[in-house]
Structure 1
Amino acid sequence: MGMRVKLAAGNWKMNGTRAALAEIDTLVAAHGDAAIEILICPPATLLAPMAERIGTAKIALGGQTCHPQASGAHTGDISAEMLADAGATHVILGHSERRADHGESDDTVRAQARAALAAGLTCIICVGETEAQRDAANTLDIISGQLAGSIPDLSTGESLIVAYEPVWAIGTGRTPTLDQIGEVHDYIRAELERRFGAGVGRSVRLLYGGSVKPGNAAEIFAVSNVDGALVGGASLKASDFGGIIDALQQA
């Protein structure tokens, strides 16, 4: 895997109040100086208090989206600068739930990513096919379009992470076969190398997301070009997420 540092990223989605900060205390105690990178993306309301709880431990924080503009009359939105000010170093962009629930297009995601890069944030850009697209054998075409449309031209191996999340596997308990995961990750790697050159293309980390659990993490992490995971429900409890972290450290 060369210089790519493995990453276990947790997306809490719309879950968690201040009471959930106890899970972070547990995570810090067990994995505060892990050999891999650990990232938690909580609701925006928890970013600042979570940053205080983490202190100097090696656990990073991220937002779950950001607005393309730095500020302005955008009620209910949050800017990349605001995320950074609250303690975030990363932001998830283009998650299928944002694309579906909020109509975010590839163009929107690219604009958000530009804003995030300007604020010094690392972007985790999500791509993935629906069940209908998978059944129609259109997966790689869909992924190709999302990569081309969502990723800014100025991306580097330090500023970009790509997460492959098949929409039909998110929160369903279903996962693609290991061969299917490998096919898409190898394809993403080749596309990144083709667009950005071998240096950048090989340094971008590729995460798999979609019903990753302690029980299936090890076999997924053994797949070609899987550098870690973007974990949803299983990241809400330190015990579950810890099992995934352990599996990634041993991969």
Structure 2
Amino acid sequence: MRTPLIAGNWKMNGSLALVERFGEAFSQPEVRLPDGIDIALMVPAPYLEAARRAFSAGPLAFGGQTLHHERHGAFTGEISGAMLAEFGATYVLVGHSERRTLFGEDDAAVCARVKAALTERLTPVLCLGETLEERDAGRTEAVVLGQLEAVFDALSPEERDRLVIAYEPVWAIGTGRTATPEQAQAVHAALRARLADYDAGLAEGMRLLYGGSMKAANAAELLAQPDIDGGLIGGASLQVDDFLVICQSAG
């Protein structure tokens, strides 16, 4: 049985006050969350220490939104996996579509960052997804599975077991458009089938998250799909009540 994971990605948003609000809201005894789910927020790097303090008494884990592939060095403005781990981060996003498109991270760069995260005992959330043009050209599976293979072919079986995968159709991020549950399930099923080519146990145990405009209104239907094991939440993760509803939908 795969443990659902609801992960929020704040992107370049949030505040110290918002970190505190989430910590307080999720630590209230009257808040009812499903048993056996994991919850995490990927906060901007300046808020890592605030998240460590605010989330210490509740169910929220936290992580980084990216990392550099080197452990230290003359890389002004970057953050390393060692730094994230020192703050107590559990997860880190790798290969988010905005990192790929806005900052030029190709498959090789994504793979190097995954390996750096694993070295620091962080759980990489590997983001995969196609653009609208690629979907319209019928290339969804080729693109998404190619992004998967670029990383998994370079990892050992033990390393593969330590990842989480997030399918995030680029055309559904921040646009208000969402893949239908059937569209999302089809890609998740293709991912699980490709994972089975590596190892049947890997496919059965790997958590696959959906990351395209999941929100309170559609979370339950998406999370009910057999191969969707959670969500990578964008805008809705900045709203305490909405994020809580999504978490409750994962039970």
Same fold (TM over 0.5): yes
Which residue is 2:160 aligned to?
156
The Cα shift of 1:200 comes to 1.7
Alignment of 1:150-189 (within 5 A): 150-151=151-152, 152-154=154-156, 155-157=159-161, 159-189=162-192
Moved more, 14-23 or 88-97: 14-23
| 1:49–1:22 CA distance, 2 compared to 1 (3 A) | closer
Task: Tell me the C-alpha RMSD between the 2 structures.
Answer: 1.4
CA distance in 2, matches of 1:42, 1:22: 12
Pair 1:99-2:103 in alignment: no
Can you list the C-alpha shifts for 1:169-199, whole angstroms capped at 9, x where unaligned?
A: 001111112221111000000111112x111
The Cα shift of 1:87 comes to 1.6
Unaligned ranges ≥5, structure 2: none
Alignment of 1:1-251 (within 5 A): 2=1, 4-24=2-22, 25-29=24-28, 30=31, 35-151=36-152, 152-154=154-156, 155-157=159-161, 159-195=162-198, 197-249=199-251
Task: Give the secondary structure class of the aligned counterpart of 2:99.
Answer: helix
Q: In structure 1, what residue type is equivalent to 2:21?
A: E
The Cα shift of 1:56 comes to 3.6
CA distance in 2, matches of 1:32, 1:225: 21
CA distance in 2, matches of 1:103, 1:136: 23
CA distance in 1, matches of 2:77, 2:201: 39
| 1:33–1:57 CA distance, 2 compared to 1 (3 A) | farther
| 1:112–1:160 CA distance, 2 compared to 1 (3 A) | same
Task: Give the secondary structure class of the aligned counterpart of 1:225.
Answer: coil
Moved more, 30-39 or 118-127: 30-39
Aligned length: 245
| 1:31–1:46 CA distance, 2 compared to 1 (3 A) | farther
| Displacement over 4 Å in runs of 4+ | 31-34
Task: Give the secondary structure class of the aligned counterpart of 1:113.
Answer: helix
Q: In structure 2, what residue type is equivalent to 1:156?
A: R
Unaligned ranges ≥5, structure 1: none
1:33/1:57 contact within 8 Å kept: no
CA distance in 2, matches of 1:32, 1:20: 20
Paired-residue identity, %: 44
